[in-house]
A and B are shown apart, each in its own frame.
Chain A
């Protein structure tokens, strides 16, 4: 099992949800986060002059999938989240030791 953490542009969340669903991946956890990368920050206006915000609002999606679904998930996300410009985000993949479904007590792949 693998955990996929995808930091994305906020406006792409719903398209990614649909795209993942088409690959049979339904469950996920979503957080509003701030971050920076090659896109860096943005300068906004104060009453006169401007100030710069160094972290931009992003959304982070956490999902856990069976090993065989990892490439499907990556494809589903990148297909709709890619504009080709700085700021599209990143995907991090890491191994997951155990998963427990609270309602039934199922473990492992069955619980995903």
Chain B
């Protein structure tokens, strides 16, 4: 033992606890400030985009008539009955929920079936009411529209107007007229099933969608690119994106999930599967532009797809495949081994085990991964530029071998132009792009939560 026992006499410690505590708290505050500041910065940027881009997406209530490529396009004024309708809608949607709540508080222990019945009984009339209101409103709108463009709409027959309406307006008529009532019914269903969160989410989304829809200016979304910022639109980019996404998902999902199943369920742990695994994680780190060059040489030149939707979708499928594989593998790993063993124990073959026990369990997770992969693909620009997707597409792709453009390429094109008018519509394009991404991410999150089963 050393002679000096540390406990003897005054200890040479100076813990300065107050100072250190202050430092610790200060550190937390700084970290919190840094995080908040960066979030605020991003928030400010988003607000800036929203302010810049909103002008083209929403009507300001004034009627404008534009001559575009020989067609007369009319921006109708907001009908008078629209405003009260917009604000009455959230109330109308929330009423049945409140009603059910009151019933619940009055009668304890309602039987499940009765509760469901009450849920429906209260939501159904509201949904019907909404639909009737909508049709009345829309027919009034279209009578105005018909008068303005000189179609004989005096009869006010909505079916005739359907016939006259252009493609986009037709879709708008159908979708908005159906989605909202159906959304309300679905909300009622969720509510009566005691799934509280979706039941609040759905009316909120339905209301927001309704308000957005009422104020939305269809012009930007239904026009083709133009040399003049005031006439340029996102129509061909939206349809191109949709087209490409469908093909990308159709190619990438089976391939990625197949690879994941092989790696998780079939492959033995040897050098080969390790090599594939390392390879996949490296592919995830390859810059996207390099995939573009691969697509350029393989799909565009060797396979002669030309600069088509198909070439773009195949390139994109290769790009997102590592994401799909990895997330599908994770989903497969969550399947408890006891489930496989139970299935094997009753004599199922390996494929039967996978098909009937493993896949159904892991499918939700796989789908989530697929949605996230698609949301990555929607935002990717560089590889499509490399394979030569065009920006000035004044037609819609009819077949997978047609030329195409997508939303981010259109945005890129507008951002890089010097005129500030183009910068504004770039912001509008970004809003549309981000909304699509937001919806996809929300869907992925909801799906992840709903498919999570605890065993």
The reply to whether chain A is a binding partner of chain B is: no
